[in-house]
Amino acid sequence: MGSGSPYGWTEKTFDFRENTRMLRTIFSIGLFAVLGLIALKFIFGIFGFAVGLFVWLLFAAIKVALIGLVIYFIIRIVSPSTAQRLRERWSGPTM
């Protein structure tokens, strides 16, 4: 055994560079989390009206599409030839 400790272990000295690297990683993760929260507040705060308008238009489009689908199914049950003409008009002739 060497002239070090009685059990042959070597003493580990305090490495200041290793601790600063770890702290820098922790602080950078925290910084990105805070920046993400600020970005969300900015998007929903300033652009809240635009986001709300987009969501409203999306739901309006879904409602119109569902109403059109119901009307198409009713026409398909009542008059299959009319439904076929509608299908050919919007998607082209079938083979």
Instruction: Read off the pLDDT of residues 60-79 as tens digits, 9 standing for 90 and up.
Output: 999 999 999 999 889 889 98
pTM: 0.46
Q: Give the pLDDT score at 48.
A: 79
Q: Are 4 and 11 in contact (CB under 8 A)?
A: yes
Q: Which token pair is 65?
A: 């599409």
Q: Give the pLDDT score at 67.
A: 96
Assess whether pLDDT exceeds 70 at residue 26. yes
Q: Which token pair is 3?
A: 């002239």
Which single residue is written with the structure tokens 């509608």?
Answer: 86
Q: Give the pLDDT score at 19.
A: 72
Count of Cβ atoms closer than 10 Å to residue 72 Cβ: 15
Q: Give the pLDDT score at 33.
A: 94
